[in-house]
């Protein structure tokens, strides 16, 4: 590939909150490695443009090759599991993310670096700790202001995140995904040049995978 062609402006680094993926009407399947701890997991590292558009599926020849990430697989299973059904080992999700998004950054990150960078960014962001430092813990049935969650993450990471919400099976709004922006060298978080669109309620839940809401209401 061309040495310095940069065909996008920044990355969205997107982490999901598994309890919120799982407690919707659609439900989820735990990964083959079993029920995970309450922690954020990686969704993807997505090239994006400053005008809000983004490239996708940029190189159909650059297919996912598990042999290149053999030594990263145990970290991937822990930090980048798939919760779609049926239960999986993550390979389908990783293949999808590499081919749809990763190939659009191939002039900057080869496949191995793409996955390793995403894993390293999770440690750098340490979202769960940032929330805990602000007294925000995963718990069913408890609501937090959207602002307090954004403030806690801003305090920890140094940059304002975008929060994507979804709704649980009782239609309560909850924290589903956190978007942070990363520069094109994929080494540091930056202020987002543009935010995605979408709304959360002003009060949202931060649910836990352990125990379920029905039980807690009694
Ligand atoms: P959804 O429609 O669920 O928000 O997004 C579906 C898929 O489109 C995401 O999984 C992601 O692959 C892609 N996508 C959605 N929004 C963005 C965005 O703002 N930037 C990029 N790069 N991809 C996005
Ligand atoms: P996107 O295209 O939005 O980057 O990724 C979403 C695709 O990945 C969908 O096809 C979805 O079924 C699949 N997928 C597999 N496992 C997961 C998961 O744990 N979370 C999410 N959000 N999508 C997953
Ligand atoms: P503003 O951009 O004026 O802060 O917010 C405009 C609207 O977007 C308000 O309804 C506010 O609740 C919502 N909002 C603010 N920040 C976020 C965010 O990070 N994620 C989502 N989904 N909505 C937000």
| Helix (H), strand (E) at residue 92 | helix 91-100
Q: Work out which ligand 3 atom sits closest to the CA atom of 161.
A: 19
Query: 3-class DSSP state for residue 168?
Result: coil
Write down the domain spans for the chain: 10-217
The finding on whether 83 has its CB within 6 A of some atom of ligand 2 is yes
Ligand 2 center to 217 CA (angstroms): 31
CA distances from residue 196 to 48, 75, 187 in whole angstroms, order as listed? 11, 29, 21
Ligand 2 center to 96 CA (angstroms): 8
Q: Supply the pLDDT for residue 163.
A: 98
Nearest Cα neighbor of 200 from 154, 143, 160 is 143
- The pLDDT, as a whole number, for residue 13 is 98
| Phi and psi at residue 2, to the nearest 5° | -65, 140
For residue 196 and ligand 1, the question of a CB distance below 6 A is answered with yes
Number of the ligand 2 atom closest to the C-alpha atom of 177: 22
CA 216 – ligand 1 centroid, Å: 34
pLDDT along the chain (218 residues), means of 10: 72 98 95 96 98 97 97 98 97 98 97 98 98 98 97 98 97 97 97 96 95 41
What does each C-alpha distance from 93 to 31, 81, 85, 132 come to in angstroms? 11, 8, 11, 29
Class (C level, CATH) for 10-217 = alpha beta
This complex has an ipTM of: 0.85
């Amino acid at each position: 590939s061309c040495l310095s062609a940069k065909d996008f402006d920044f990355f969205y680094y997107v982490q999901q909150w598994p309890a919120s993926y799982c407690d919707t009407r659609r439900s989820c399947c735990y990964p083959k490695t079993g029920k995970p701890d309450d922690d954020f997991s990686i969704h993807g590292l997505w090239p994006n443009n400053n005008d809000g558009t983004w490239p996708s599926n940029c190189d159909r020849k650059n297919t996912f090759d598990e042999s290149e990430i053999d030594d990263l697989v145990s970290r991937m299973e822990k930090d980048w599991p798939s919760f779609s059904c049926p239960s999986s080992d993550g390979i389908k999700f990783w293949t999808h993310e590499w081919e749809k998004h990763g190939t659009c950054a191939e002039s900057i990150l080869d496949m191995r670096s793409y996955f390793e960078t995403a894993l390293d960014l999770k440690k750098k962001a340490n979202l769960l700790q940032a929330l805990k430092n602000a007294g925000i813990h995963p718990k069913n049935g408890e609501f937090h202001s959207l602002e307090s969650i954004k403030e806690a993450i801003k305090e920890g990471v140094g940059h304002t995140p975008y929060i994507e919400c979804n709704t649980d099976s009782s239609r309560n709004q909850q924290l589903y995904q956190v978007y942070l922006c990363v520069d094109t060298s994929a080494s540091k978080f930056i202020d987002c040049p543009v935010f995605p669109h979408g709304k959360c309620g002003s009060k949202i839940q931060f649910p836990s995978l352990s125990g379920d809401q029905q039980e807690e209401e009694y």
